[in-house]
Amino acid sequence: MAKVTAEQISAAYQVSKNIFSKKIKRAEGIELLSNTYHLNKASAGDFINCFKCLMEGRVFQRAMSSSAMDFFMSSITTDFSIERQENALNALYKHIEYWESHYKTNALSMRKIANYYLKGIEQNLTTDSIYQQLEQSVAESLKLTSYERLNKIRASNPIPKKILVSSTVYQRNQHVVAERLNTANGTCERCNKKAPFLRAKDNTPYLEVHHKKQLGHGGLDVLENTIALCPNCHRELHFGI
C-alpha cells in the first residue's frame, strides 16, 4: 500500500465504518476516498476490506502501515463493543501469523500494536465477560474425565486470583421496586407461589424485581416493564431456555 497521510487514514476509517453499517455503498465509499481524499482506489478497497475483517475477526492479507493499523485499532476501541474489539484483535493476530509465515519475517511493529490493545482489552474486563468466560471454561472442563479434572484441581493454585473489572450499573428507581413488591404482595407474579423465604433484616417476603425488557437493552424503569419474581423464576428467565 502506498504511503498515506493521517487525513486519508482517518477518512478511510470513517468510510469503512459507514460501509460496514450499510450507511453507504462500497462503490460510493471508494469514489469518495478517491475523489475527495485522493486515495488510490486499490488502497481504498484494501482499507475497506481490512476494516470488515477486523469487525468480523477474520484474517486479512494486505498489509496496512503501522500508523494506519494503530489508528484503526484505537478508533475501534472507542467506537465499538468489547466483542468487536476482540474480533479486531483476533483478526490482527491472524494477519500477523499469516504475514510472518508467508514472508518469513517478524511483523514487529504489528505485534507491538496488537500487544498494546491486548493489554487494553484485558483491563477492560467486565463482570459479564468474566461470567461468560467462566461458563465457557466450565463447558470445556466438563469434556474432561473426572480423573483428569481432579488432577488439574490438585495442580491448581488454591488462592483465587483477583482481578479488577469495570461494570456499568443502572441506578434503579426505588419507588418502582417498592410499588412492584407492594402489588405482588409476597407472591411470585410468574409461578404464583409464595416467596420462598422472608428477608432476615425485616421479615418481608423475598422476591426480586425483574425488568421484562432489560435496562441494558433499552428497557424503561417503569412499573409496566417490571415483574416481581421468586429467585427460581428469575434465574429461569435469565438463564433458562
Asked if residue 195 binds Zn ion (CB under 5 A), the reply is no
| Binds Zn ion by CB under 5 A, chosen from 14, 84, 190, 221 | 190
Asked if residue 209 binds Zn ion (CB under 5 A), the reply is no
Asked if residue 233 binds Zn ion (CB under 5 A), the reply is yes
Asked if residue 191 binds Zn ion (CB under 5 A), the reply is yes
Asked if residue 221 binds Zn ion (CB under 5 A), the reply is no
Distances (CA, A) of 16 to 25, 52, 71, 91, 153: 10, 8, 13, 16, 47
| Binds Zn ion by CB under 5 A, chosen from 64, 188, 195, 227 | 188
Asked if residue 176 binds Zn ion (CB under 5 A), the reply is no
Residue 2 has which C-alpha cell? 502506498
Residue positions counted in the chain: 241
Asked if residue 107 binds Zn ion (CB under 5 A), the reply is no
Q: Closest CB to Zn ion among 98 and 206?
A: 206
Tell me the closest approach of the beta carbon of residue 137 to Zn ion, in angstroms: 24
Tabulate helix, strand, coil % of the chain (nearest 5).
60, 5, 35
Report how far residue 65's alpha carbon sits from residue 209's, in angstroms, rounded to the nearest whole number. 52
CB 211 within 8 A of CB 221: yes
Under the rule (CB under 5 A), what is the footprint of Zn ion?
Answer: 188, 190-191, 210, 230, 233
